[in-house]
Amino acid sequence: MNQTIPVIALAGNPNSGKTSIFNALTGARQHVANYPGITVEIKEGKAHSGELTARVIDLPGTYSLTPYSPDEVAARDYLLEQHPDVVIHVVDSSNLERNLYLTTQLMELGVPVIIALNMIDIAEARGIRIDSEGLSRILGIPVIRTIGNRGTGADELLQKALSVAGERTSWIPIDLSYGQSSDEALKILKMKIREAKLLGDMVPPGWLALRLLEQDSHTINRVEKLHLPAGDEILNLSADLADGVFREMNDETEGVIADHRYGFVAGVVKRVKSKPAVNRVYLSDRMDTFLTNPVLGPIVMAAVLFGLFQFTFFISDTPITWMEEFFIWLHNIAWGVLPEGFLRSMVVNGAIDGVGGVVGFVPLIMFMFFFIAILEDTGYMARIAFLMDRIFRKFGLHGNSIVPFIISGGITGGCAVPGIMAARTLRDPKERFATIFSVPFMNCGAKLPIYALLIAAFFSAHEGTMLFLLTIISWSFAMISAKLLRSTILKGESTSFVLELPPYRLPSLKSLLIHMWQRTWLYLRKAGTVILFASIVMWALMTFPTLPLDRASSLTGNELAQVKLSYSFAGRAGRIFENITKPLMGFDWKTDVALIGGFAAKEIVVSTLGTVYSMGEIDAEESSSLSERLANEAGWNPVMAFALIMFTMLYIPCIATVAVIKRETRSWKWAGFAVVYTTGIAAIVSTIVYQIGMLFY
Whether residue 541 lies inside any domain: the answer is yes
Counting the structural domains of the chain, the total is: 4
Please give the single-letter amino acid code of residue 517. Answer: W
CA dihedral angle for residue 162, residue 164, residue 166, residue 168, rounded to 10 degrees: -140
Q: Which residues pair with 32 in a beta bridge?
A: 43
What 3-state class would DSSP assign to 489? coil
- Residue 550 CB neighbour total at 10 angstroms: 7
Verify that 476 and 624 share a domain, yes or no. Answer: no
Mean pLDDT of the chain: 84
Q: How far is it, in rounded angstroms, from Cα 593 to Cα 552? A: 22
Verify that 226 and 252 share a domain, yes or no. Answer: yes
Task: Give the residue-averaged pLDDT of 463-487.
Answer: 91
User: Quick one: pLDDT band at residue 257, thresholds 50, 70, 90?
Assistant: very high
Whether residue 425 lies inside any domain: the answer is yes
Whether residue 282 lies inside any domain: the answer is no
- Residue 599 CB neighbour total at 10 angstroms: 18
Verify that 320 and 239 share a domain, yes or no. Answer: no
The residue among 177 and 626 whose pLDDT is bigger is 177
Please give the single-letter amino acid code of residue 655. Answer: I
Verify that 308 and 372 share a domain, yes or no. Answer: yes
Predicted pLDDT at 398:
72
Task: Give the residue-averaged pLDDT of 590-613.
Answer: 80
Parent domain of 184: 180-274
- Mean pLDDT lowest among 181-195, 418-432, 673-687: 418-432
For β-strands 52-58 and 7-12, DSSP reports them as parallel
pLDDT single digits (tens) 12-28: 998 888 988 998 999 86
Q: Is the pLDDT of residue 609 over 90?
A: no
Q: Strand (E) positions, 28-149?
A: 30-35, 38-49, 52-58, 86-92, 113-118, 129-130, 143-145
Residue 514 half-sphere exposure toward CB, CA atoms < 13 A: 21
Percent of the chain whose pLDDT exceeds 70? 90
Verify that 251 and 301 share a domain, yes or no. Answer: no
What 3-state class would DSSP assign to 273? strand
Q: Is the pLDDT of residue 292 over 60?
A: yes
Verify that 267 and 298 share a domain, yes or no. Answer: no
The residue among 267 and 286 whose pLDDT is bigger is 267
152, 180 in Cβ contact below 8 A? no
Q: Looking at residue 210, which CATH number applies to its domain?
A: 1.10.287.1770
Q: How far is it, in rounded angstroms, from Cα 442 to Cα 448? A: 11
Task: Give the residue-averaged pLDDT of 639-648.
Answer: 96
Whether residue 430 lies inside any domain: the answer is yes
Predicted pLDDT at 624:
54
- Residue 694 CB neighbour total at 10 angstroms: 13
Q: Which residues pair with 180 in a beta bridge?
A: none
Verify that 91 and 54 share a domain, yes or no. Answer: yes
Whether residue 495 lies inside any domain: the answer is no
Q: Looking at residue 80, which CATH number applies to its domain?
A: 3.40.50.300
User: Quick one: pLDDT band at residue 184, thresholds 50, 70, 90?
Assistant: very high
Task: Give the residue-averaged pLDDT of 119-131.
Answer: 90
Task: Give the residue-averaged pLDDT of 261-272.
Answer: 94
Q: Is the pLDDT of residue 617 over 70?
A: no
Candidate ranges 36-45, 181-190, 679-688; pick with highest mean pLDDT: 679-688
What 3-state class would DSSP assign to 231? helix
Q: Characterise 339 by phi-psi region: left (phi > 0), alpha (psi -120 to 50), beta (else).
A: beta
Q: Is the pLDDT of residue 144 over 90?
A: yes
How does DSSP assign 523-592, residue by residue?
HHHHIIIIIHHHHHHHHHHHH-SPPPHHHHTT--HHHHHHHHHHHSHHHHHHHHHHHHHHHHH---HHHH
Q: For the chain, report the end-to-end CA distance as a whole number of angstroms.
A: 70
Verify that 254 and 332 share a domain, yes or no. Answer: no
Q: Who contacts 695 (Cβ-Cβ below 8 Å, separation ≥6)?
A: none
Question: Of 274, 301, 323, which one is at a domain's C-terminal end?
Answer: 274
Whether residue 1 lies inside any domain: the answer is no
pLDDT single digits (tens) 533-561: 877 887 888 788 988 877 777 776 667 76
Predicted pLDDT at 264:
94
Backbone angles phi, psi at 311, to 5 degrees: -70, -35
Give the residue among 323, 245, 646 at the shortest CA–CA distance from 473: 646
Q: Is the pLDDT of residue 505 over 70?
A: yes
Task: Give the residue-averaged pLDDT of 389-404.
Answer: 78
What 3-state class would DSSP assign to 105? helix
544, 565 in Cβ contact below 8 A? no
With vertex at residue 250, the alpha carbon angle to CA 248 and CA 256, rounded to the nearest 5 degrees, is 90
Give the residue among 449, 458, 455 at the shortest CA–CA distance from 608: 449
Q: How far is it, in rounded angstroms, from Cα 574 to Cα 153? A: 61
Whether residue 279 lies inside any domain: the answer is no
Verify that 139 and 186 share a domain, yes or no. Answer: no
Verify that 333 and 222 share a domain, yes or no. Answer: no
Burial status of residue 343 (CB atoms within 10 A of its CB: 0-12, 13-18, 19 or more):
exposed
pTM of the complete model: 0.68
Verify that 632 and 483 share a domain, yes or no. Answer: no
Predicted pLDDT at 278:
55
Task: Identify the DSSP state of 93.
Answer: G
Question: Of 274, 307, 336, which one is at a domain's C-terminal end?
Answer: 274
Question: Of 274, 306, 335, which one is at a domain's C-terminal end?
Answer: 274
| Sheet bearing 52-58, strands edge to edge | 30-35, 38-49, 52-58, 7-12, 86-92, 113-118, 143-145
pLDDT single digits (tens) 448-467: 889 989 999 999 888 888 98
User: Quick one: pLDDT band at residue 599, thresholds 50, 70, 90?
Assistant: confident
Task: Give the residue-averaged pLDDT of 345-372.
Answer: 79
Predicted pLDDT at 687:
97
Rg (CA), the chain: 29
Q: Is the pLDDT of residue 620 over 50?
A: no
The residue among 116 and 527 whose pLDDT is bigger is 116
Give the residue among 103, 163, 92 at the shortest CA–CA distance from 136: 103
- Mean pLDDT lowest among 80-94, 388-402, 414-428, 627-641: 414-428
Candidate ranges 304-313, 358-367, 369-378, 430-439; pick with highest mean pLDDT: 430-439
Whether residue 614 lies inside any domain: the answer is yes
Backbone angles phi, psi at 32, to 5 degrees: -85, 125
Verify that 235 and 376 share a domain, yes or no. Answer: no
